[in-house]
């Protein structure tokens, strides 16, 4: 018990697992899974729409400033998602307010906006949003009429 137990504890301290950061696997309910899918789709659509808007507005400015010979060239700017921390923060606050008011549907919509606007490197914020989404989904299920 003396040396073996100590080695196991020491080894487990350094053991790393790819699922260490996963809170719940698989999602607790099908609704939570669908919410995660909706969030991913919303984030992708938002990123594409924002990139399209930015490229179209910047290309109009560039076209006006560019010489005639360069105006006919096709533009080849990569579409990169654009994130806005301020919008994500406001959407998070709106989701919290909606949950406090007992409106989980509105909270879920706000959480989706926050997910779409939150930069991916903000892992702490994303985990808070996931937790809030789980809470809103559970409140939504409690409010649905039982058949």
Structure tokens given for 83: 């994130």
Structure tokens given for 2: 């003396």
C-alpha–C-alpha distance, residues 127 and 129, integer Å: 5
Structure tokens given for 57: 């507005």
C-alpha–C-alpha distance, residues 116 and 128, integer Å: 14
C-alpha–C-alpha distance, residues 68 and 96, integer Å: 52
C-alpha–C-alpha distance, residues 132 and 5, integer Å: 39
pLDDT tens-digit map of 14-55: 566 655 655 555 556 777 777 777 777 877 787 777 777 777
0.75 exceeded by the pTM?
A: no
The residue with tokens 């699922």 is: 19
The count of other CB atoms within 10 Å of the CB of residue 98 is 20
Q: Where are the domains of the chain?
A: 29-46+59-143
pLDDT tens-digit map of 75-115: 444 566 678 888 889 999 999 999 999 999 999 999 999 98
3-state helix, strand, coil in the chain (%, to 5): 70, 0, 30
């Amino acid at each position: 018990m003396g040396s073996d137990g100590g080695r196991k504890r020491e080894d487990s301290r350094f053991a790393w697992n790819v699922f260490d950061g996963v809170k719940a696997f698989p999602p607790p309910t099908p609704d939570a899974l669908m919410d995660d899918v909706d969030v991913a789709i919303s984030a992708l659509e938002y990123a594409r729409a924002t990139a399209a808007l930015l490229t179209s507005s910047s290309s109009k400015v560039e076209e006006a400033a560019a010489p005639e010979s360069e105006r006919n060239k096709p533009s080849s700017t990569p579409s990169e998602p654009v994130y806005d921390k301020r919008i994500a923060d406001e959407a998070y606050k709106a989701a919290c307010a909606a949950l406090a008011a007992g409106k989980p549907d509105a909270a879920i919509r706000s959480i989706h906006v926050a997910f779409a606007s939150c930069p991916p490197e903000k892992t702490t914020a994303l985990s808070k949003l996931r937790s809030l989404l789980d809470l809103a989904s559970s409140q939504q299920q409690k409010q649905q009429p039982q058949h």
